[in-house]
A and B are shown apart, each in its own frame.
Chain A
């Protein structure tokens, strides 16, 4: 019973992470900038490292604002780096930002007393240590960011999914990109402080990818992502208690395991659907093969994809 009581705030924190990250993950996956989260998280971690270096409490208010300042700088760089005509892919800038921020954090830490301990904490985090006040503050912050995204959802979705159309409509891609990355940076800075880089990455990408296996439209994808995030959080926390394992790493591995299961289910569903389609098509194809299928009819349909 005491375990459940102790885990209520970490579990609530994981639900809040699911809420905002599963939504932002849809944008990130659509944009094809999968590692932007890791890059921004590392830039935020660099900010925290600099704060530690000048003697600040890594979890204090000033340290948070320094981290956020670094993240906004990263957001501005990513917004500028995205251009339709550019011949350098945006992922290149993201990768460079990640590598430079990581190396700079190591350089900064080489001058601090905490050394590898803080780098490890930023990477792994410890969601168990989250406090009630942190959960409340994060819920308010993410609620505000969620509202901002809800109000401008059409614009954000347009620049994420159809940037050419947005440009044709005269929408300022750079401005809205910056607003997206800045709000995203707000979320990443706060989430990394609670849960560490690895867990935040999973909350962002895995629900979105899992949902894409079963749905194309945004609504169903969000519903699947949120459901998956909630169930995996509960299962991960439960497994960490039963198996006596660190909670964050257990949730990450549970995400991986559930995604593999979802992929297998997806394969089975697709195969069944293909078989169903084949059944329906048999009378016609037996005598007259469909030219749209390359003239090979059931042979093509029945081949597992």
Chain B
């Protein structure tokens, strides 16, 4: 099987798995009306779709070998599928918990919908999209290359013009440059955690979102 046929087969497999996931959730009482199915797919089908889109983009730019990105996605989908097949009630409970927690987070983040922020790199697109936050610029647009004066001044001007007050940074980045920009704009730097374990109290995925959302809402309130 040549590489292209293999990719097509992988994509078809993913598509089949997504369909099976959807059917399985439906069979479990997908709660279409309450949005559980749509919500659950946010973590599965949509997630897979994004990975596939990313893979296609990278492949078209000739930057990755075929299948590398598909393998991980396929494995993730396969594990979920196996869970559905073997322990459907457990997975349903997990999906329901995610759904309820997400409802709570969406409610907490409601005042921040449409909020404009700056991030260090392009590293929060899904988070921003889900909670309706608009990322208007990046501290370091090319990862690993310090920003030029022209870019930094443009960013400062943009932040002043658009009244952007929050700069979101991961804990492993140096805060010197974000702090310098915050100084010039009267803004605030917030160190958001991108994964579990960034702080001792953040021991699972739910606590991670609780932590980040608490930081964001507090900082947002302070800038009002």
Chain B residues within 8 Å of chain A by Cβ, number: 24
Q: Is the CB of A240 within 8 A of B148?
A: yes
A200 → chain B closest CB, angstroms: 15
A228 interface residue, CB < 8 Å from B? no
27 interchain pairs, CB-CB under 8 A: A2-B157, A3-B150, A3-B153, A6-B156, A6-B184, A10-B149, A57-B175, A58-B174, A59-B176, A113-B172, A113-B198, A114-B171, A117-B174, A118-B174, A125-B146, A126-B146, A126-B177, A128-B146, A128-B152, A128-B177, A129-B176, A131-B183, A240-B148, A241-B149, A244-B151, A246-B148, A247-B148
Which residues in chain A, 42-79, are within 8 Å of chain B measured between CB atoms?
A: 57-59
A26 interface residue, CB < 8 Å from B? no
Q: Is the contact region of chain B dominated by helix, strand, or loop, or is it mixed?
A: helix
A24 interface residue, CB < 8 Å from B? no
Q: Which partner residue on chain A sits nearest B152 by CB separation?
A: A128
Given contact pairs A121-B174, A126-B176, A129-B177, A6 touches B146 in the complex (Cβ within 8 A): no
Of B146, B150, B172, B184, which one neighbours A115 at CB under 8 angstroms? B172
Which residues in chain A, 232-281, are within 8 Å of chain B measured between CB atoms?
A: 237, 240-241, 244-249
Q: Is the CB of B180 within 8 A of A128?
A: yes
B146 → chain A closest CB, angstroms: 4
Q: Is the CB of B174 within 8 A of A245?
A: no
Q: Which partner residue on chain B sits nearest A196 by CB separation?
A: B146
- How far is B184's CA from A2's CA once the two chains are assembled, in angstroms? 11
> Which residues of chain A are within 8 angstroms of B156 by Cβ–Cβ distance?
2, 6
> Which residues of chain B are within 8 angstroms of A117 by Cβ–Cβ distance?
172-174
Given contact pairs A2-B153, A113-B198, A246 touches B147 in the complex (Cβ within 8 A): yes
B-side interface residues toward A, CB under 8 Å?
Answer: 144-153, 156-157, 171-177, 179-180, 183-184, 198
> Which residues of chain A are within 8 angstroms of B174 by Cβ–Cβ distance?
58, 117-118, 121, 126
A-side interface residues toward B, CB under 8 Å?
Answer: 2-3, 6-7, 10, 57-59, 113-115, 117-118, 120-121, 124-126, 128-131, 237, 240-241, 244-249
> Which residues of chain B are within 8 angstroms of A115 by Cβ–Cβ distance?
172
* 7 closest A-B pairs by CB: A129-B180, A246-B146, A129-B176, A121-B174, A129-B177, A114-B172, A244-B150
Of A58, A113, A128, which one neighbours B149 at CB under 8 angstroms? A128
Of A59, A120, A131, which one neighbours B175 at CB under 8 angstroms? A59
Given contact pairs A2-B153, A3-B150, A244-B151, A120 touches B172 in the complex (Cβ within 8 A): no
B45 → chain A closest CB, angstroms: 32
Q: Is the CB of A247 within 8 A of B146?
A: yes
> Which residues of chain A are within 8 angstroms of B177 by Cβ–Cβ distance?
126, 128-129
- How far is B183's CA from A129's CA once the two chains are assembled, in angstroms? 10
Q: Is the CB of A247 within 8 A of B171?
A: no
- How far is B179's CA from A58's CA once the two chains are assembled, in angstroms? 13
Residue from B145, B176, B177 with most neighbouring chain A CB atoms (10 Å): B176
- How far is B153's CA from A245's CA once the two chains are assembled, in angstroms? 13
- How far is B146's CA from A120's CA once the two chains are assembled, in angstroms? 10
- How far is B218's CA from A260's CA once the two chains are assembled, in angstroms? 55
> Which residues of chain A are within 8 angstroms of B183 by Cβ–Cβ distance?
131
Q: Which partner residue on chain B sits nearest A57 by CB separation?
A: B175
> Which residues of chain B are within 8 angstroms of A3 by Cβ–Cβ distance?
149-150, 153
A248 → chain B closest CB, angstroms: 6
- How far is B176's CA from A240's CA once the two chains are assembled, in angstroms? 19
B55 → chain A closest CB, angstroms: 25
Q: Which partner residue on chain A sits nearest B174 by CB separation?
A: A121
Q: Which partner residue on chain B sits nearest A114 by CB separation?
A: B172
- How far is B171's CA from A233's CA once the two chains are assembled, in angstroms? 32
A198 → chain B closest CB, angstroms: 11
A189 → chain B closest CB, angstroms: 16
B186 → chain A closest CB, angstroms: 14
Q: Which partner residue on chain B sits nearest A241 by CB separation?
A: B149
- How far is B140's CA from A246's CA once the two chains are assembled, in angstroms? 11
- How far is B123's CA from A75's CA once the two chains are assembled, in angstroms? 42
- How far is B148's CA from A248's CA once the two chains are assembled, in angstroms? 9
